[in-house]
Amino acid sequence: MLPSPWDAVSAFVDDFSILMKHTLTTVAEALIGLAVGIVVGFAMAIIMDRFNLFYFGFRPLLIVTQTVPTIAIAPLFALWLGYGIAPKILLVSLTTFFPIAVGLVDGYRSVDSDMVDLMRSMGANEWKLFRFVKFPSALPNFFSALKISVTYSVVGAVISEWVGGVNGLGVYMIRVKNSYSYDKMFAAIILVVAVSLIFMAVVNILRRYIVFWKAEIK
Amino acid sequence: MAIFEARNITQSYEGVPIIEDICLALNHGEVVCLIGASGVGKSTLFQVLSGMKKPDSGGVFLNGEDITGKTGMVSYMLQKDMLLPFMNVIDNVALPYRLKGFKKKEAREKVRSYFGQFGLEGAQDKLPDQLSGGMRQRAAFMRTYFFGREVVLLDEPFSALDELTKADLYEWYLNIGGELGLATLFISHSLEEAVSLSNRVYVMSGVPGRIEAEVAIKRRGSLREFCSTSEFSEYKNRLRDLL
Ligand SMILES: Nc1ncnc2c1ncn2[C@@H]1O[C@H](COP(=O)(O)OP(=O)(O)O)[C@@H](O)[C@H]1O
Ligand SMILES: [Mg+2]
């Protein structure tokens, strides 16, 4: 018994203010989690770049941890941290930091070793090498990673809300599902998709300005 | 007296000797070529001369001072232009000043007036990808110049360029090198290039690589004229026999 698109639209209009409130919560969780993920990702990438031991030790470990499905750990976080915003942020940061860390470190490490030699021969120290060569060189990788991470962030927040919460699109979805209001369910799904698309569009716009020297690779 | 000297340099990779007992000298204002087959150890020698690598034995001297294993004492340029794709040409060229701690604006002001001299007028605000191969190499050379060292090491600076661009750049380099008072040691595997540009040529050969010969070149008249003389071909033949 699928609702017609018209049903979904009218549900959207009817529930507009409630939907917006929930969307705001989900967006906030996604953005805060993403911000934490980016900061942690940056730190991890620098450590992995600096120390081979961490690169060869952490990178495979990170890839293994990524195969653990989000839906499996979300209930654990709810158990430990309750129904507030904290378990959502933790889950989102955990899923988003990984592409960022790996993208950045691979970017740093892809810098031509002759370029590194040349910079050193001109007296560059580690910081200047990072600032003038490694960091800008890794920006295209960073944005490719960020594109993945922003979609993870929305999905992560919603899944986290499914397993327990008071606010957010995930919570709303569970409620309307329990009352068999599939039209509202569809309205919520459309909103989740819209939020993801807006996040991706923002990343694309930022990328175009910041990574101006590289044409977009489709 | 030589301003730059390598004395008895020996270097190996993982126990395999690559170059052995290399001695060479560079005088003020000279252009000297190091020629040799690919794999003979020319770039390895340059890594030692530029301080990137410490040799197993031997030393590098600048104005009599021991600079073995010290980077930043001589300018060093590679075959690949190594321009940073995300910086416009003026910022690429001004990079040595940025590394010395100048602000972006100050660094730009320091290099701006040189663009004409380096044949790069109008290229200041372009990205490296928008330049031709010859212009990119000139920009790379300009950046090397602003590093401000009298001794310039160029590792196959012209190898990636097409014939016509090369011919232009040879003449350009002789002029600008003279104007700026540089002492240049460059690597080549082209006899033509070696004879065209150099006051002297070191010939490197063998395993491990050694300097087996040194040939002085007397150029008369302009480069264009010199290239069509019989002396030019004789020099080339002589180098070919030595290789
Ligand atoms: N990093 C390295 N590790 C081990 N061997 C090397 C390394 N770099 C160069 N070699 C070896 O040293 C020799 C000389 O190389 P190179 O100096 O690049 O020669 P050229 O510049 O004359 O072509 C080659 O046989 C090469 O295989
Ligand atoms: Mg070489």
What pLDDT, in 10s, does the model give residues A87-144? 999 999 999 998 999 999 999 999 999 899 889 888 889 999 999 999 999 999 999 9
Residue B88 is classified by DSSP as -
Spatial separation of the C-alpha atoms in residues B10 and B17, rounded to whole Å: 8
Give the residue, by CA position, lying nearest to ligand 1 atom 16: B41
- Backbone φ and ψ for B83, nearest 5 degrees, come out as -75, 145
| Segment A23-76, tens digit of pLDDT | 999 999 999 999 999 999 999 999 999 988 888 888 888 778 778 788 888 888
Task: Give residue A216's pLDDT.
Answer: 62
Spatial separation of the C-alpha atoms in residues B132 and A200, rounded to whole Å: 36
- Angle of helix A16-50 relative to helix A135-162, nearest 10 degrees, comes to 140
Q: From the CA of B187, give the closest atom in ligand 1.
A: 21
| Segment B71-120, tens digit of pLDDT | 889 998 888 889 999 999 999 999 999 999 999 999 999 999 999 888 89
Q: Evaluate the omega torsion of the peptide bond into residue A87 and state whether it is cis, within 30 degrees of 0.
A: no
Instruction: List CB-based neighbours of ion ligand 2 within 5 Å.
Output: B 43
Give the residue, by CA position, lying nearest to ligand 1 atom 26: B39
Residues with CB under 6 A from ligand 1: B 13, 18, 36, 38-44
Residue A94: exposed, middle, or buried by beta-carbon count in 10 A (0-12, 13-18, 19+)?
Answer: buried
- Please state the domain extents for chain B: 1-70+183-218, 75-149
Please name the residue that has the structure tokens 């860390």.
A101
Chain B residues in contact with A132 by the CB 8 A cut-off are 84, 95, 98-99
Task: Give residue A1's pLDDT.
Answer: 65
Q: For a substitution probing ligand 1, which of B44, B48, B212 has the most ligand atoms within 8 Å of its CB?
A: B44
Question: What's at A106, amino acid-wise?
Answer: D
For residue A195, give the H/E element and its range: helix A182-210
Q: For a substitution probing ligand 1, which of B13, B34, B38, B205 has the most ligand atoms within 8 Å of its CB?
A: B13
Helix residue ranges per DSSP H, A51-181: 52-66, 70-81, 86-109, 113-121, 126-129, 135-162, 169-178
Q: From the CA of B42, give the closest atom in ligand 1.
A: 22
Distance B39 CA to ligand 2 centre (A): 7
Spatial separation of the C-alpha atoms in residues B53 and A110, rounded to whole Å: 22
Asked if A136 and B84 come within 8 Å (Cβ–Cβ), the reply is yes
Task: Give residue A165's pLDDT.
Answer: 86
Distance B159 CA to ligand 1 centre (A): 17
Better-scored residue on pLDDT, B16 or A216: B16
Asked if A119 and B99 come within 8 Å (Cβ–Cβ), the reply is yes
DSSP lists the bridge partners of residue B66 as B61
Closest CA to A157 of A196, A185, A194, A101: A196
Spatial separation of the C-alpha atoms in residues A157 and A173, rounded to whole Å: 13
Question: What's at B130, amino acid-wise?
Answer: Q
Average pLDDT over residues B231-235: 90
Asked if B78 and A114 come within 8 Å (Cβ–Cβ), the reply is yes
Task: Write down the architecture of domain B1-70+183-218 according to CATH.
Answer: 3-Layer(aba) Sandwich (3.40)
Asked if A121 and B95 come within 8 Å (Cβ–Cβ), the reply is no
Q: From the CA of B156, give the closest atom in ligand 1.
A: 21
Spatial separation of the C-alpha atoms in residues B69 and B96, rounded to whole Å: 20
Question: What's at A31, amino acid-wise?
Answer: L
For residue A181, give the H/E element and its range: none
Distance A53 CA to ligand 2 centre (A): 31
CA distances from A12 to A6, A18, B112 (A): 10, 10, 60
Average pLDDT over residues B214-220: 89
Question: What percent of chain B lies above the pLDDT cut of 90?
Answer: 65
Nearest CA in chain B to A137: B86
DSSP lists the bridge partners of residue B22 as B9
Q: Evaluate the omega torsion of the peptide bond into residue B208 and state whether it is cis, within 30 degrees of 0.
A: yes
- What interface predicted TM-score (ipTM) does this complex get? 0.80
Better-scored residue on pLDDT, B70 or B160: B70
Mean pLDDT over the full length of chain B: 91
Closest CA to B23 of B6, B11, B38, B2: B6
Confidence of residue B222 (pLDDT cuts 50, 70, 90): confident
Spatial separation of the C-alpha atoms in residues B90 and B106, rounded to whole Å: 12
CA distances from A52 to A46, A58, A66, A164 (A): 11, 10, 21, 40
Find out whether B54 and A103 touch, Cβ atoms under 8 Å: no
Nearest CA in chain A to B85: A213
Distance B155 CA to ligand 2 centre (A): 7
Average pLDDT over residues B118-126: 92
Task: Give residue A2's pLDDT.
Answer: 76
Closest CA to A185 of A160, A162, A166, A163: A162
Asked if A117 and B85 come within 8 Å (Cβ–Cβ), the reply is no
Tell me the ligand closest to B37's alpha carbon.
1
From 1.10.3720.10, 3.40.50.300, 1.10.10.10, 1.20.1090.10, which CATH number describes the A5-210 domain? 1.10.3720.10
Q: Determine the distance from the C-alpha atom of residue B222 to the mean position of all C-alpha atoms in its chain, rounded to a whole number.
A: 21
Q: From the CA of B46, give the closest atom in ligand 1.
A: 17
Average pLDDT over residues B144-156: 92
| Segment A201-210, tens digit of pLDDT | 999 999 999 9
Closest CA to B166 of B42, B79, B44, B89: B79
- The number of helix segments (H) and strand segments (E) in chain B equals 9, 10
Better-scored residue on pLDDT, A1 or A76: A76
Chain A residues in contact with B77 by the CB 8 A cut-off are 118
Which chain B residues touch A if contact means CB-CB below 8 Å?
Answer: 47, 50-52, 71-72, 76-78, 80, 82, 84-87, 95-96, 98-100, 127, 129, 147
Confidence of residue B175 (pLDDT cuts 50, 70, 90): confident
Distance B47 CA to ligand 2 centre (A): 10
Q: Determine the longest span between alpha carbons in chain B, in angstroms.
A: 53
Tell me the ligand closest to B34's alpha carbon.
1
Q: From the CA of B44, give the closest atom in ligand 1.
A: 17
Find out whether B243 and B205 touch, Cβ atoms under 8 Å: yes
Please name the residue that has the structure tokens 């911000």.
A35
Task: Give residue A120's pLDDT.
Answer: 87
Give the predicted TM-score (pTM) of the model: 0.83
